[in-house]
Amino acid sequence: MERSVFMKNNSIKKNKIKELLIDFIGITIGCAVAGIGMNMFLIPNQIAAGGVSGLGIILLYVLGIPVGATVLGVNVPLLFVEAKIMGFNYTIRTVYGALMFSFLIEVFSFVPNFTGDIFLSAIYGGIILGIGLGLVFRNRGTTGGTALAAQLLQKYTGLTIGQAIIGFDMIIIVLSAIFFDAEVALYALISLFVASKTLDMVQQGFRQTKAALIISNKSKEISQEIFSQLNRGVTNITARGGYTGEDREMILVVVNRTELSRLKSLVYSTDENSFVIVSEANEVLGEGFKAVEQDDL
């Protein structure tokens, strides 16, 4: 009996290590693609398309600080705070993604620069950056930066992650207009928009918000994990199995595009026999998502 339990635990551990390695490979590829896009199109054209990398481009031209150094310098304290709050196991993919992104930005600084047309540079740079970041998110990672800062702000303020990220990005765009010029800032805004839309398409097509129904014998534990790890509310619905006639609690939760992979991961790490239905939520109004406006009514 003890040997059987040991072998099962050992098998689970090996599977988790395998999953982590696969995620690391995907995150590395995504960071490499993003790094190439930045060095080929964005950095040489002073296109600071939001985020910490955008801040890095501004500081590169104003103070001569390498972009990778800025990304690393901003992320280190944020990663330390998140690891202290959430635990290292929870932040390991974020730590890896942030470090790899800052490293690969500098590694690919040798790629040829495209400076022929700033508008095309903004479009192509946004597409390639979005593809890279989309691959990172698909593998349950992030590159830290404003997304990480937004998560921390959400935890301690009334801001949603989306509001915080938009706020950070707009600050970078304004700084771009101040230190470069208004035309370059406009191209940065275009590139930011293209990157955001491309990221959505890479991660989950045109779907941005998902509704998940989770049926499990460990619904209470899963609900607690969703509260603590994703900071999302859940609705518990009493359901009855048509075949067994047994009553079970079904969990309804709505998450955004960056949270779906993490949701599935925490559900199946809590109960590998869970039954999960994920569907597209065309529109979600309310706290944590879109504020209700008169046009929505």
49-83: pLDDT as tens digits: 988 999 999 999 999 999 999 999 998 888 888 77
214 pairs with which residues across the strands? 251, 276
**142: three-class secondary structure by DSSP:** coil
Residue-wise pLDDT for 70-79, tens only, equals: 999 998 888 8
Work out the average pLDDT over 33-41: 95
Amino acid identity of residue 50, one-letter, is G
Residue-wise pLDDT for 166-210, tens only, equals: 888 899 999 999 999 999 999 999 999 999 888 878 875 555 688
- Domain 209-296, architecture per CATH: 2-Layer Sandwich (3.30)
Residue-wise pLDDT for 85-99, tens only, equals: 776 666 888 889 999
Confidence of residue 288 (pLDDT cuts 50, 70, 90): low
153, two tokens: 């702000």
Domain with CATH 3.30.70.120 in the chain: 209-296
Q: Please spell the DSSP secondary structure of 139-202, one letter per residue.
A: TT----HHHHHHHHHHHHSS--HHHHHHHHHHHHHHHHHHHS-HHHHHHHHHHHHHHHHHHHHH
Amino acid identity of residue 154, one-letter, is Q
- Whether the Cβ atoms of residue 118 and residue 47 lie closer than 8 Å to each other: yes
- Give the burial string for 269-279 (b: 16+ CB within 10 Å, else e): ebbeebeeebe
43, two tokens: 């950095």
194 vs 111, 116, 138, 139, CA distance in Å? 22, 19, 18, 21
Residue-wise pLDDT for 242-271, tens only, equals: 777 778 889 999 888 778 888 888 898 888
Residue 209 CB contacts under 8 Å (≥ 6 apart), including other chains: 254, 255, 256, 257, 280, 281, 283, 284, 289
Q: What pLDDT was estimated at residue 81?
A: 80
